[in-house]
C-alpha cells in the first residue's frame, strides 16, 4: 500500500459497538504502519429502534445488521464491524466475512446478588433478551422466571438496578471490552451454559468487489483461530435453525490434540435438550471445522427429527 488511504468503518452507535469498531481501527493503524486513516460511521439499526417487544417478535432477520449491509451495498462505508452472533448465517450476496478478530472470553456472566444459577433465590426473576439463555436457565432451574430485557449493556444494568429483575445474564466478552467485567457476580462455565454460536468473536464484512488493498489488509488482520471457530459454529447454526425462534448454542475450541465442539438445541421452556459433541484429531483446517459443525448438526437433527431442508439465521442476542 502506498500513499494515504482512508478506511470508512461502519458500526452501531452503542458503547460496546463503538469499542469494537475502535479496536478494528487501532489494528488497521498498526498493520498499515499509519498509511491507512480510519473514520467511524455510526448507524441506528432496526434492532436498536424496536425496544418494546422480544427480538423474536420484531420480525425479519438481521435486525442489527441490515442498515450497515445496505450502507456497504451503496458504497457509503468500506467495512462493517459486528458482534458475530448478530450476523445472519447467510449474508447478502454482495458481502463476505473478510476477517475475524481474536476471540474474547466466550462465556456468559451472571449479574446480580449471587454468582451462580444454583444460588439464585427460589422463583427469582432473570432478565434476558436471549431465547437461548432463557431456555438454559429454565433447564437448570425450572422454578426461575425469565423476562424480556431489551437494550444495550448499560440499559440492562440500569433496569436491573431499578428492580425490574433480580438478575440478568450478559456476555463476558462485551463486559471485558467495556472494562466492566467487575459488574459480574460470577462467570458461568461453558459446560453450565453453552454460549451462542460466534459469541466473543468480532466479524468484519467487506464487499465482494472491494479493492485489492482492502482485501489484502483484511487478510493480514484475520485471526485463523477465530475463523475456525466462526466457521464451525455458523455451520451448526445454518443447518439447524429453521425458525429463527429456536434456543440454540454452539461452541468450538482448539485443544492440544486438535479441536473439540459441542452444540445443542432446547425447547423454549428448557424441558428438552438435544446435544451433540465431536472432536478433530490434529490441527483442523477451515474445511475440517465446517464439516464438524455440519456433522454435529446432523446428529442433533437425527435425535430431534429436524427437517434440514429449511435454513435460516441465528437469532441475535443483543449484547450491545
Mind telling me the catalytic residues?
86
Classify the phi-psi angles of 135: left when phi > 0, otherwise alpha if psi is within -120 to 50, otherwise beta.
Answer: alpha
How far from 245 is each of 18, 59, 144, 305, 309, CA to CA, in Å?
28, 11, 20, 17, 17
Q: Where are the alpha helices (DSSP H) in 181-284?
A: 212-221, 224-240
How far from 222 is each of 174, 199, 212, 259, 285, CA to CA, in Å?
20, 17, 15, 19, 15
Strands in 36-43's sheet, in edge-to-edge order, are 36-43, 5-12, 79-83, 202-207, 95-100
Q: Where are the alpha helices (DSSP H) in 93-152?
A: 131-140
> How far apart are the C-alpha atoms of 313 and 261, rounded to whole Å?
20
Whether 180 contacts 67, CB under 8 Å: no
> How far apart are the C-alpha atoms of 286 and 143, rounded to whole Å?
42
Residue 261 grid coordinates:
465442539
CA contacts within 13 A on the Cβ side of 13: 10
Residue 14 grid coordinates:
452503542
Phi, psi of 247 (to 5 degrees): -65, 115
3-state secondary structure of 212: helix
> How far apart are the C-alpha atoms of 98 and 206, rounded to whole Å?
6
> How far apart are the C-alpha atoms of 78 and 207, rounded to whole Å?
7
Amino acid at each position: 500500500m502506498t500513499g494515504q488511504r482512508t478506511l470508512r468503518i461502519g458500526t452501531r452507535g452503542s458503547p460496546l459497538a463503538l469499542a469494537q469498531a475502535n479496536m478494528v481501527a487501532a489494528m488497521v493503524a498498526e498493520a498499515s504502519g499509519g498509511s491507512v486513516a480510519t473514520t467511524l460511521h455510526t448507524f441506528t439499526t432496526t434492532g436498536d429502534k424496536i425496544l418494546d417487544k422480544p427480538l423474536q417478535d420484531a420480525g425479519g432477520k438481521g435486525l442489527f445488521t441490515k442498515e450497515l449491509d445496505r450502507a456497504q451495498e451503496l458504497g457509503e462505508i468500506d467495512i462493517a464491524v459486528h458482534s458475530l452472533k448478530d450476523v445472519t448465517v447467510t449474508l447478502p450476496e454482495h458481502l463476505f466475512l473478510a476477517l475475524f478478530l481474536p476471540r474474547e472470553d466466550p462465556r456468559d456472566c451472571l449479574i446480580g446478588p449471587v454468582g451462580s444459577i444454583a444460588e439464585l433465590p427460589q422463583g427469582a426473576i432473570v432478565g434476558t433478551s436471549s431465547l437461548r439463555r432463557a431456555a438454559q436457565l429454565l433447564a437448570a432451574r425450572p422454578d426461575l422466571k425469565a423476562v424480556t430485557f431489551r437494550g444495550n449493556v448499560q440499559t440492562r444494568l440500569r433496569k436491573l438496578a431499578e428492580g425490574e429483575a433480580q438478575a440478568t445474564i450478559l456476555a463476558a466478552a462485551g463486559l471485558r471490552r467495556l472494562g466492566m467485567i467487575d459488574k459480574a457476580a460470577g462467570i458461568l462455565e461453558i459446560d453450565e451454559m453453552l454460549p451462542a454460536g460466534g459469541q466473543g468473536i468480532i466479524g468484519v464484512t467487506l464487499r465482494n468487489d472491494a479493492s485489492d488493498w482492502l482485501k489484502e489488509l483484511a487478510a493480514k488482520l484475520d485471526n485463523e483461530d477465530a475463523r475456525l471457530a466462526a466457521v464451525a459454529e455458523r455451520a451448526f447454526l445454518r443447518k439447524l435453525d429453521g425458525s429463527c425462534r429456536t434456543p440454540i448454542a454452539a461452541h468450538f475450541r482448539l485443544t492440544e490434540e486438535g479441536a473439540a465442539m459441542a452444540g445443542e438445541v432446547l425447547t423454549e421452556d428448557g424441558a428438552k435438550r438435544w446435544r451433540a459433541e465431536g472432536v478433530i484429531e490434529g490441527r483442523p483446517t477451515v474445511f475440517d471445522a465446517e464439516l464438524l459443525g455440519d456433522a454435529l448438526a446432523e446428529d442433533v437433527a437425527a435425535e430431534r427429527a429436524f427437517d434440514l431442508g429449511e435454513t435460516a439465521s441465528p437469532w441475535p442476542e443483543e449484547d450491545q
